[in-house]
Amino acid sequence: MSLPIKNIVLVSVLFFVCATSVHAKELASLQPCKLITETEVLGLTEVVELALCGNPQTREVWASARYQEAQLGVSQAAYLPTLNGSVGLSRSYSDRSGATSPLDSKSAALTLSYLLYDFGARSASLENSRQLLAAASATQDSTVQAVFLSAVQVFYQVQAAQAAWASSKDAERSASESFKAAALRSSVGSGAPADKLQAQTAYSQASLNRIQAEGALRSAQGALANVIGRDANRPIQLIATGSIDLPADFERDVDSLIVTARARRPDLIAAEAQVNAAQANVDAVRNSDNPTITLGASATNSRSDVLAPGNAYDLSLKLNVPIYSGHTPSYRIHAAEAQVETKRAQRDRIQRQIALDVWNAYQNLQTSSQSLRSTADLVNSAEQSERVASARYQAGVGSFLDVLVAQSALASARQQRVQASYNWNIYRATLAQTMGSLDVKLLSIQNAEKSQP
Encode pLDDT of 189-245 as tens digits: 766 778 888 888 988 999 999 999 999 999 998 888 888 877 888 777 887 766 565
Burial of 297 (0-12, 13-18, 19+ CB in 10 A): middle
- Residue 320's alpha-carbon distances to 203, 245, 313, in angstroms, are 92, 73, 22
Over residues 337-344, the mean pLDDT reads: 94
| pLDDT at site 36 | 67
Which has the minimum average pLDDT: 39-53, 116-130, 311-325?
39-53
pLDDT tens, position by position, 259-316: 888 988 999 999 999 999 999 999 999 888 889 899 999 988 887 766 667 788 888 8
Helix axes 266-287, 328-394, angle to 10 degrees: 170
Bond into 247 cis (ω within 30): no
pLDDT tens, position by position, 56-114: 888 888 889 999 999 999 999 999 999 999 998 887 776 666 556 677 788 889 999 99
| pLDDT at site 96 | 65
Helix axes 444-451, 44-54, angle to 10 degrees: 130
Q: Are 295 and 114 in contact (CB under 8 A)?
A: yes
pTM comes to 0.71
Q: Are 413 and 241 in contact (CB under 8 A)?
A: no
Calpha distance 9→450 (Å, rounded): 14
Calpha distance 450→453 (Å, rounded): 8
Residue 28 has pLDDT above 60, yes or no: no
Calpha distance 398→452 (Å, rounded): 42
Calpha distance 288→119 (Å, rounded): 9
- Residue 215's alpha-carbon distances to 158, 177, 261, 393, in angstroms, are 12, 24, 39, 33
Q: Are 33 and 46 in contact (CB under 8 A)?
A: no
Residue 258 has pLDDT above 80, yes or no: yes
Structural domains of the chain ordered from first start: 8-80+119-289+326-451 (1.20.1600.10), 82-117+290-324 (2.20.200.10)
List all residues 6 or more positions away from 102 whose beta carbon is below 8 Å from its beta carbon.
91, 92, 93
Band (444; pLDDT cuts 50, 70, 90): low
Calpha distance 30→50 (Å, rounded): 16
